[in-house]
Structure 1
Amino acid sequence: MIGVLVVDDDFRVAEVHSWYVGQVAGLKVIGVAHTAADAVRSVADLKPDLVLLDNYLPDRPGIDLAAELRVDIFMVTADSSATSVRAAFAAGAVNYLIKPFSSEQLTSRLRAYVRYRTLLGDQPNELSQQAVDRAIDALHEADKPPTPKGQSPVTARLVTEALRRADNPRTAADVADELGISRATAQRYLAALADDGRATLSLRYGSTGRPEHQYVWITAL
């Protein structure tokens, strides 16, 4: 069972978040804290695997605690500043969820975290790059936008993986040839990746002078 510490200065919010955690198989709330000082003590005493951490605590910003706590951190906060998001991930946060959010937004990310922990296992064994990639993909699966209406999740995944593993920009024709699908289908799915910000789009001019769209996966994602 994965132990979770919930840290929020609002008693009611902490109670709600604890209830959400309790709905996810494999997770158990082992403590609740309402200040940074309480969070530090609770981590030392209870040794949770995951901390749901608000940034707006009365005695110290939660982000300041993230690296100090030395456990996996989900930032769950109303702080939506880009500076705070960057600081949280630099401090070791594994996810960042901005209030207000739906119960499904939180629970889906928590379920993804359970899959991530399951794939990594608890033993200090050596992992292949493929195993690491699978675990990272599982951790962030819930962060990805849903497949657009009318698209096949299977085809979307195949096109996404073809673009992710490419060493050079790919055109719809390149992806269509690799996957055995029509050029129009490849173009539609590649355009969707560009629209939701997971790929960049540029133009390539061939010998005929007619431009082709070419796509590159944004490797930071």
Structure 2
Amino acid sequence: MSESLRVLIVDDDFRVARLHAEYVGGAPGFVALDPVGSAAAALDAARAFRPDLVLIDVYLPDGNGLDVLPDLEADSMVLSAASDAATVSRAYRRGAIGYLIKPFAERLLQERLRGYSRYRRVLESTPDLTQDTVDRARRHLLPASVQPTASRSLTEGAVVDALVAAGAPLTALDIATAVGISRATAQRHLSALVEEGAVEMGLRYGTTGRPEHRYSVRG
């Protein structure tokens, strides 16, 4: 998933739409399409631009945003001031993968977008999915604060501890040496932690010009 994920924002308040577009633009790996302000325009834009994700309000001038969810042919999240149980339930029945009640902070939307990106990455990691892969992908759609806590293996915990203790980015070889495991084992655990979002990966270019992956604990 190398290209940026395209996001269509549907909101009849152009100021709110522009604000949400700024939030989307601030999330790495995402680009906001020009917002639209009606259900009909949402369907037209979805057909024309094939967005990966649609952020749609419930209250639109020409109808209820939830009514068009099945016809968008894209993943969708609802961003709305509607906070009644019936509307939220209906949104999920119509296929929404998330629901944010307005107003919300920028970090909340960007957290959902990061989770969506990881969800896509897990689903696209292999052509033949196992139940574990499907369940892992779905968990990424939950906010970090309510995700079920997965029990870490002792080795994975030791990898995290080594990164915390170092206080600086480390390579897979650094981790392998610190923990006392093979480089391949360290790499496997680091990849899982990056996918989970607990660890972030960066690149550093050495004197030979060949990039080197370096890992650090997120946050």
- Aligned match of 2:112 in 109, 112, 115? 109
Q: Distance in 2 between matches of 1:102 and 1:31?
A: 21
**Residue 4 of structure 1 aligns with which residue?**
7
Alpha-carbon distance, 1:81 to partner: 1.1
Sequence identity, in percent?
42
Alpha-carbon distance, 1:122 to partner: 7.6
Could you report, residue by residue, the CA deviation over 1:119-158 in whole angstroms, capped at 9, with x for unpaired residues? 11187x120111111111112143617xxxxxxx9xx543
- Aligned match of 1:158 in 134, 151, 174? 151
Q: How many equivalent residue pairs? A: 149
- Aligned match of 1:36 in 17, 36, 39? 39
**Residue 132 of structure 1 aligns with which residue?**
134
Out of 105-114 and 133-142, give the one that drifted further. Answer: 133-142
Letter in 2 for 1:86: S
Alpha-carbon distance, 1:5 to partner: 0.3
1:44-83 alignment runs, 5 A limit = 44-83=47-86
Stretches of structure 2 that go unaligned for 5 or more consecutive residues are: 153-219
**Residue 18 of structure 1 aligns with which residue?**
21
Alpha-carbon distance, 1:96 to partner: 0.4
TM-score by length of 2: 0.64
Could you report, residue by residue, the CA deviation over 1:12-34 in whole angstroms, capped at 9, with x for unpaired residues? 00000000001111111123111
Q: CA RMSD in A?
A: 2.0
**Residue 142 of structure 1 aligns with which residue?**
144
Stretches of structure 1 that go unaligned for 5 or more consecutive residues are: 146-152, 160-221
Could you report, residue by residue, the CA deviation over 1:155-212 in whole angstroms, capped at 9, with x for unpaired residues? x5439xxxxxxxxxxxxxxxxxxxxxxxxxxxxxxxxxxxxxxxxxxxxxxxxxxxxx
Q: What SS class does the counterpart of residue 136 from structure 1 fall into?
A: helix
Q: What SS class does the counterpart of residue 15 from structure 2 fall into?
A: helix
Q: Is the CA contact 1:6–1:52 (under 8 Å) kept in the aligned structure 2?
A: yes
> Quick check: 1:94 aligned with 2:97?
yes
Q: Distance in 2 between matches of 1:142 and 1:55?
A: 25
Q: Is the CA contact 1:73–1:94 (under 8 Å) kept in the aligned structure 2?
A: yes
Letter in 2 for 1:158: S
Q: What SS class does the counterpart of residue 23 from structure 2 fall into?
A: helix
